[in-house]
Amino acid sequence: MQRKLTRGGRLVVASHNPGKLREIGELVRPFGLDAVSAGTLGVSEPDETETTFAGNARLKALHSALATGLPALSDDSGLEVEVLGGDPGIYSARWAGPAKDFTFAMRKVQEALAERGVTMADPAPRANFTAALCLAWPDGETQVFEGRVFGHLVWPPRGSKGFGYDPMFVADGETLTFGEMEPGKKHEISHRARAFKLFVDACLG
């Protein structure tokens, strides 16, 4: 039987990424959870040493849950480009460098495609975003939920509403990039929203 979070309880968001903190905070707010960031509680960021999104999400959530004695929700997510063999994948944040400069990271993706003779012209390069959410409890129990959204890449990037690689990604069936979409619309279809729905059904339902 799945363990449930209770309305009014505290939940640590195990991330120092402002964009992720904002999105996860908006997603959990309707369920009456008191979400607080790991950074606010003085919890460090662990080294992401796993080889999958799920593994890194579990590592981060456990780190925060054990450090705070509270349930912790982490996210590990990234952009996977088909013709690049799934890169940048779990290294999506690292492609942005120490400064977390995603303008640099997006250009790095574009340059990697160009090196392979791939242009953004029709057919545009296929890609997907993957998100793995992990809920960890202070006793070490974990639950992982994964979501994906498929689409294609565009260049130059468009929009400033999202974060990360959002300005160069258009989901299937859409014309706007995630960087151009209003947050509410993105939350309806994003990889994180799909993983979050599984989390809600299991842990908040």
Q: Which long-range contacts (C-beta less than 8 Å, at least 24 apart) are formed by 67-70?
A: 67/38, 67/41, 67/43, 68/12, 68/38, 68/41, 68/43, 68/138, 69/138, 70/10, 70/11, 70/12, 70/138
Does 88 sit behind a cis peptide bond, omega within 30 degrees of 0 on the bond before it?
yes
Give me the count of residues in the chain.
205
Collapsing DSSP to helix, strand or coil, 18 comes out as helix
Tell me the catalytic residues: 76
Burial of 163 (0-12, 13-18, 19+ CB in 10 A): middle
Does 156 sit behind a cis peptide bond, omega within 30 degrees of 0 on the bond before it?
yes
Q: Which two tokens stand for residue 178?
A: 């995630």
